[in-house]
Amino acid sequence: MRELIVLGTASQVPTRHRNHNGYLLRFDDEVILFDPGEGTQRQLLLAGLPVTPITRICVTHFHGDHSLGLPGILQRISLDRVPHPVSVHYPAGGQEFYHRLRHATSYWDNADIVPSPVGAAFVAETSAGRLTALPLRHSIETYGYRLTEPDSRRMVPELLAAHGISGPAVGELQRTGRAGAVTLEQVSTERPGQSMAFVMDTGLCDNVYALAQGVDLLVIESTFLAEDAGMAAQVGHLTAGQAAAVARECGVRHVVLTHFSQRYPDPSRFLEEARKEFDGPITVAEDLLRVPFPGRR
């Protein structure tokens, strides 16, 4: 299964209807929790999601609305005896903040939590593909993340039959690229990999575009509306129109807008503004919403 579960969508201050940030990406066997803000553990409960499948946690920066839920999540991972290692990625310059959150209170700490600080050259190979990170433009050290599945090939049964390939020979083809005189290219078609980018708390900069380039799913902050563009630029945030323009210029297939300021009570205004810049699928995120991953190209 490939889907995004939105756990929280507020910026800085939660509201009656929006929890602090939290986003769970299910990408087959890889389950990544992004930016667990305060209350994320309860939001998982409301979404009917256990912590057990989580394989890694990605923190963009150490502002509270993106990280204060980390202690509860890590403690719950211990409480539920999650049997596999869980990697935690976070800005390397925030090591002190990570240490404080990791050991915020006394608890039975028996989980295999693997700290993995992020720098500009960060790369992690996961079961879903390559996870990378790039620095963004905010008031403190902040990184955006991108997950890129490698391209592969899909076997075509009719072509396999036409070349007399069956049984163990199919496995040999997949492993070595050849079975006797038959090559993998003769009996398969290209299967483009999928990609996702997660961009929070940033003003416009080159790395926003680099992260978003050509992705199937872009989760991006749109804290402000155009009427407050000056404030957005001053504090290192995006407007809905800017976020949508990034999606258009980068050829994004589906954009999810989130991280909304509490000053705007009507979420439809974000869609109205974004639609002027991007004519593809737009989701204005709501807490506990599930967003299916787009089908393959």
Q: Tell me which amino acid residue 219 is.
A: V
Catalytic residue from among 65, 112, 228, 266 = 65
Judge whether 259 is annotated as a binding position: yes
Whether 63 has a binding-site annotation, put simply, is yes
Active site residue 287: no
Greatest Cα pair distance, the chain, in angstroms, is: 67
Neighbour count for residue 6 (Cβ, 10 Å): 23
Burial 69-85 (b: 16+ CB within 10 A, else e): bbbbbbbbbbeeebeee
How far apart are the C-alpha atoms of 160 and 290, rounded to whole Å? 38
237 is in an annotated binding site: no
287 is in an annotated binding site: no
Q: Is 228 annotated as a binding residue?
A: no
Q: Is 65 annotated as a binding residue?
A: yes
Please name which of 264, 204, 205, 220 lies closest in space to residue 35, comparing C-alpha atoms.
220
Residue 254 labeled ligand binder: no
3-state secondary structure string across 179-236: ECCEEHHHHEEEECCCEEEEECCCECCHHHHHHHCCCCEEEEECCECHHHHHHHHHHC
Which residues are annotated binding-site positions for Zn(2+)?
A: 61, 63, 65-66, 138, 201, 259
Q: Catalytic residues, which ones?
A: 65
> Would you list which residues are annotated within the binding site?
61, 63, 65-66, 138, 201, 259
